[in-house]
Chains A and B, each alone.
Chain A
Amino acid sequence: MPAKTYVRTIINGEHVDFLCEPRQSLLECLRDVIGLTGTKEGCNDGNCGACTVSMDGRIVTACLVLGVEAEGKEITTIEGIAKGSQLHPVQQAFLENAALQCGICTPGFIVSSVALLEKIPQPSEHQIRFWLANNLCRCTGYDKIVRAVQDAATKM
C-alpha cells in the first residue's frame, strides 16, 4: 500500500483535510474518502462530465484530477450549490422544467450550468449547448436542460 499524502482543501466553503494515496483521483477522494457521493462516476476518463466540480473557480472533471493536486484548492461540489435550504436558481429551474429523468448526470450539469451563468449571465442557446457539451445526458435529449438553463438565466 503506497504511503498516503495529507491534503488540505476548502470544500463547499469549509476546511476539509484528508489523506489520500497518490493514485487516487479527486473523484475517489470526494466519494470514498470524504463521503461526498453527490459527484458521480460515469466513465472515469473525462468524457461524460458526471463528476464535474468547480476547482478554484474553474470546472474540472474530478476523475482527471488527482487527489493530491487538490492541495490548497477551493472546490465546490453539487453539495455546495444550494445556500442552506435555499436551492440555487439553476437547481430550481431543473426541477420546474423537468430537466432530469434518472438524475445521475444532474449534479454535473448543475455545477457546469452554474459556472456558465457566472461567466455568461445571458447565454444564447448555442452558448449553452457549447458549454454543456462535455456533460452527457442519455435520458432527456438535452431539450429541457437547455430550457432550464435559459429559465435560470432570467431569474438570476
Chain B
Amino acid sequence: MTTTDYERNIVLSNVEYNVVGTRPVRPDGADKVTGRALYGADFDTSGLLHGKVLRSPHAHARIRSIDTSKAEALQGVLAVVTGKDMPHEADESDGTKYSRDNILASDKVLYKGHAVAAVAATNPHVAEEAIGLIEVDYEVLKPVLTAPEAMKDSAPILHEGLKTEELGEKTDKVSNIANHFQHVKGDIAKGFADADVVVEREYNTVTVHQGYIEPHGATALWNTDGRLHIWCSTQGAFTARDATAGILGVPVSQVRVTPMEIGGGFGGKIPVYVEPIAALLSKKSGHAVKVVMSRAEVFESTGPTSGSNIRIKVGAKNDGTITALQGYLAFEAGGYPGSPVNAGAICIFAAYDVDNVLIDGYDVVVNKPKSAPYRAPGAPNAAFACEQAIDELAGKLGMDPIDLRLKNAAVEGTRRPDGPAFPRIGCVEVLEAMKNHPHYSAPLGPNQGRGVAIGYWFNIGFQSSVNINVNSDGTISLIEGSTDIGGTRASISMQAAEVLGIPMEDVRPSVVDTDSIGFTAVTGGSRTTFATGWAAYEAAQDVARQMIERAATIWDVDKDGIELKNGVFQSKADPELKMTFKELSGQLLDTGGTVVGRASMNAGGLGAGGGSFAGNIVDVEVDPDTGKTLVTRMTAIQDAGKAIHPSYVEGQMQGGSVQGIGWALNEEYYMRDDGSMANTSLLDYRMPTSLDIPMIDTVIVEVASAEHPYGVRGVGEANIVPPTPAIANAVHSAIGIRMANLPINSVAIMEAKWKQQGN
C-alpha cells in the first residue's frame, strides 16, 4: 500500500509553541549521515591494545582451575586477567559479588558465554589466538533454563548462598527464587464472587534480545597517576562510571567516562560488561586497551530480557465491569537476581481501574545471561498476558474490546495495584483515539484479523544537569550528560530555545564526560527528553534571569521591570528600551562577563509525569497452509504529553512497534537442552527487516503531564508494550485460536491448528 485516504501521522496538539512541536534537523545529523560520528568501537589512541574475552562453553559449571601460562607466553600478548584479578574483599556483599562475577566469573559460570578470562594483545587476531590457549578445568553441572523448572524443589541450584526473600522477609530457604512479592488491593475473593464471567489462562514468553546494531565496545586507560579513563558506548556515562568504580573497588572520583556516540541500547547498554575488563587489562599492561564484542558475544553474554511464565485470572459482571484481576508472574532473571518482574507487576493492570487486585511476582535465577533492561522492561511480557485475557473477556461478554477497556479505564486518582495514585494520565484519550482511527473500522481481507491492546510504562525522572554558556554571537552552548540515543540533542535544545526565544539552530548541544557536567542519570526509562529537557528549561530560565539583570544594569532600571518575550528583552515601562537576545549577548563580556546558566535537578522518581499509555491497532494475515503471519497494517497511538519534536516521537513509536512485531512473531533465544543458544547470528536470530513490515502509522495524543513545564511525557518505551498482545489478538481474530506462547511463528500456528483439528 503506497497511497492512503487518511493522514498517516496525526498529532493531536492543544498547545502551540514557537520551537517546541516543530521538526528541525537534529544538531548531530551532519556527523551521522557522513560517517564522522564516532561510536564505541571507533575510538583510537596511541599504544592501543586489543582485548578479547574467553567465555564459558557451559551453561552451568564450577571452575576448578584456569591455566593462562600458554596465552601469556604468546608473542604479542601483554596482559591476561581472570576473576582472580577482581578485588573480592572479605566482607563483600552478595550484590557486589554478583556484579563482579558477572564481569569475570570467580567460582562458577552460570550461563554459556559467561566471561572467565581476558587477554590484551597488539592486535585483535593475536588476542583471539591467545584466548584459545587458556585452559579452564570445569566441573560441568546440570543447567536449568526456565522459571517454572528452576522453581521446582528438585532443580539444580545456581547460588548455594541465595536465600529466598518472601514478602519482604529474608528466609533460610536456599532456592533459585530470589524474591517473591505481592501487590494487594481490595479483596480478590470478593471480586471473583461478584463476577458473572471469569477468564483464566497461562502464558509464556521466551528470552529475546534488545538487538542494537552496535556491539558493546569500550577502551580503558588506567594511567600511571592512578586515574582510569574509559571511552565507551553507554546509555549513561555516570552510571558506567559508578558501576565500573564499584566493580573495581575504586572511588568514583578515580574514574572518568567519556561517552562515545551510542549505536542503540534499548536498556541493554545500561549495565557495564567490557568496561571493567578493559580497565583490568590496561592496569596490567600499562596500555590503553579496547574491547569490542562480537555479535555472538552480544547474544550470549549481555543482557537479553526475561522469558516469563504468567497466569491471569479476570472476573467481570455481564455489563463489562471488571470486578477482579489476578496475576502470577514468574520471570527469568538469568544467572543473577534482578529480572524486571517488579516493573512488569507495576504495569500489568495499570490501564484498569479495578477494586480487587492480587499480583504475585517471582524473580527466578536460571542458567541464561543476566537479564538487562529492554524497553519498558517486564511490561511487554505482562501485557502479552493481560491484554489477551481482556480480549478473551470481551469476546465472552460480546463487547467491543476498546469499549470494554474504556469502561474500566484508569483515570487520574485511580490507585495502581502497587500503591501510588495516578496523576493526570491519558489512558482514556489513547483508547478514544484508537476507536476513532479509520484503521479500526477499515474492512479486512481473507485470512486477516485485527487486534487491539493498550500498554503502560511508568517512566522515570531522576537526576539531570545542564549548563548553558551564552556566546557573544547570540548562540548558546548547551552542555549535558545524556547520551543521545535517538535525537535527544534536538529535543533538549528545543526546550532551551523555547525559553530564550531563539531558533533551535542557535543552540549548540554537547554531550560531555563525567568530569565536565553534573551527575546525570541514564538515557533510559523514557526520561531524557522529560528530565534533561526540563533541566535545559531551568538552565535557560537561569540564563534569562541573569540576562534580565544585565539589561537592568545597562539600562539602569529595576530588573523587575524587564521581561524576555520572543527573544527580546524589553522594559515594560519604556517601549524604547529593548534589545534582542543576540544584541545583549554581544554586550555581556564588557558588562560583567559571560552568562552561564545552570540547572541540576531531580525530576522525580518512578512514575514521573504519570507515565505514558500506548495502544496498537494491528491487522495480520495468516497463511492458511503455512501459518506464516504478516502484519499488513499497524497503527501506533501514544500519549506524549507534549511532543517536543514530533518526528522523533513518531520514530520512537514506530521503532517500538517494530521491535514488538519481532518479539511477537519471530524472535527467540532458541535454546538447546545443554543451555547453549543455537541462533547466535543475526541471520538466525532474525529481527524484522524492511521487507517484513508495513509503514507504521502514528497518532500522537497530547495529555500534558502536570509536572513538566511543557507537559512532556517520555515516549521511549510504552510503545513496545501493546504490540505482542495486539498481534496475538489479531491472530486470534484471523484463525480463532488463542496463542498463549511467544513467538507466534509458523510452527506454533500450525501446531495449534493441528491440535484444534485433533491431529
Contact = CB atoms under 8 A, between A and B. Distances in A.
Decide if the interface of chain A is mainly helix, strand, loop or mixed: loop
A136 B126 CA distance: 30
Interface in B250-293: 261-266, 292
A139 B263 CA distance: 9
A84 B532 CA distance: 35
B264 A104 contact: yes
Interface string A53-73: 000000000000000000000
B26 A98 contact: yes
A48 interface: yes
Contacts of B75: 1
Nearest to A91: B33
A78 interface: yes
A138 B682 contact: no
B404 interface: no
A141 interface: yes
Interface in A26-45: 31, 35-45
Interface in B20-62: 23, 25-26, 28-30, 32-39, 41-42, 44
A45 B682 contact: yes
Nearest to B487: A101
B215 A103 contact: no
B213 A144 contact: no
B125 interface: yes
B651 interface: yes
Given A82-B34, A101-B655, A134-B689, 9 more contacts: A37-B41, A42-B215, A47-B683, A91-B34, A94-B33, A101-B487, A102-B486, A140-B654, A143-B650
B294 interface: yes
B26 A133 contact: no
A102 B690 contact: no
Q: Tell which of B42, B44, B651, B683 has the most Cβ of chain A within 10 Å.
A: B651
B59 to A, nearest CB: 23
Given A47-B681, A102-B264, A141 B696 contact: yes
Contacts of B38: 37
A100 B33 contact: yes
B213 A48 contact: yes
Given A40-B214, A140-B651, A95 B25 contact: yes
* Interface range for B: 35 or more
A11 interface: no
Interface of B: 1-2, 23, 25-26, 28-30, 32-39, 41-42, 44, 75-76, 125-126, 210-215, 261-266, 292, 294-295, 485-487, 645, 647-648, 650-652, 654-659, 681-683, 687-691, 693, 695-696
A140 B264 CA distance: 11
Given A101-B485, A102-B263, A142 B690 contact: yes
A59 B121 CA distance: 33
A23 B212 CA distance: 27
A124 B690 CA distance: 13
A45 B36 CA distance: 24
Contact of A45 (B263, B265, B295): B295
Nearest to A80: B35
A105 interface: yes
A98 B648 contact: yes
A107 to B, nearest CB: 5
Contact of B654 (A38, A129, A135, A143): A143
A151 interface: no
A35 B238 CA distance: 29
Q: Tell which of A42, A107, A135 has the most Cβ of chain B within 10 Å.
A: A42
Contacts of A87: 30, 33-34
B655 A139 contact: yes
A21 B25 CA distance: 42
B695 A130 contact: no
